[in-house]
Amino acid sequence: MRTTVEFDEDAARALDRLRRETGMGVSEAVNHLVRRGLAAESASEPFVQKTHPLGIRIDVSNVAEAIDLLEGPQSR
């Protein structure tokens, strides 16, 4: 498949670096990076926030007030 693709600067730098290091052509390097991204995406586990009971209840409807309560007014 032939198409025109515009890369963000960081992606273009990664592509150029890979090409310099390996001698790959543009298409081969793009396919390599896409496959690496797909493999990393499928290998990663979904993020789960770990929580711990603190034994206290804080009303967080007013964030500034909650921060003052937890960290003191000097935290602002």
What's the domain count of the chain? 1
Could you read off the pLDDT of 2-24 as tens digits, one per residue?
Answer: 889 899 999 999 999 999 999 99
The values of phi and psi at residue 34, to 5°, are: -65, -45
54 part of a folded domain:
no
62 part of a folded domain:
no
Q: What's the pLDDT at 15?
A: 93
60 part of a folded domain:
no
- Prediction pTM value: 0.51
57 part of a folded domain:
no
Q: What's the pLDDT at 76?
A: 67
**Nearest one of 44, 18, 41 to 31, comparing CA atoms:** 18
Q: Which residue has the tokens 């789960």?
A: 48
Q: What's the pLDDT at 56?
A: 78
Integer Cα distance of 5 and 2 in angstroms: 10
19 part of a folded domain:
yes
Domain of 25, in residue numbers: 9-43
List the structure tokens of 59: 């009303």
53 part of a folded domain:
no
